Amino acid sequence: MKKSLVFVLFFFLTGYVFAQNIAYVDIQKVMNQSKKGQEYKKEIESKVKYYQKKLEEIDKKISQIEKQLESPVLSDEAKKKKRKELEELKEKGRNIQQNAEEELSKMKAKAERELVLKIKEITEKYAKEKNLDLVFIGGAIGGVVYHDKTVDITEEILKRLDGEKN
């Protein structure tokens, strides 16, 4: 009798587990292909170009000063001033490089954090609408090794994120 009860319980519990509504969303795909993700990417690329331009200007000035230092007509005093100016420019370039790396890193982290929170919010709402019990995330930051295409809700989440008013 006990064995029968255990078997029946096991049968029903296993059936319950397999009857769960499970879905999968590729968060990396949503982040890369959504309008919001593209906006963040453009902002970051714009900032990269800004810093590249500043660094190129400094490099140009450094090259000019280095050429001037090669001139035999330059007095020792003038060469000393040019070397000082050169070192100051190089230091300025290093500072800009460091500031750029810090700012870009913060921008990227903020964009990812905001986007992940928004995707999570939309996914939770979608899961409640569709009576899903569990949603796995995949992509570069996910933990899914395999998923069947029938449980993939990535495209629906992508549509909803792009359809939202800011």
Query: pTM for the complete prediction?
Result: 0.71
Q: What is the pLDDT of residue 144?
A: 60
**Residue ranges in the chain modelled with pLDDT below 70:** 1-19, 140-148, 166
Question: How far, CA to CA in Å, does 92 sit from each of 86, 105, 130?
Answer: 10, 20, 56
Instruction: Report whether 154 contacts 26 (CB < 8 A).
Output: yes
Instruction: Report whether 37 contacts 31 (CB < 8 A).
Output: yes
CA 149 from chain center: how many Å? 25
What CATH class has 20-163? alpha beta
**If you ran DSSP here, which 8-state letter would residue 152 be given?**
B
Write down the domain spans for the chain. Answer: 20-163
Write out pLDDT tens, residues 95-120.
999 999 999 999 999 999 999 999 98
Cα torsion for 55, 57, 60, 65, to the nearest 10°? -100
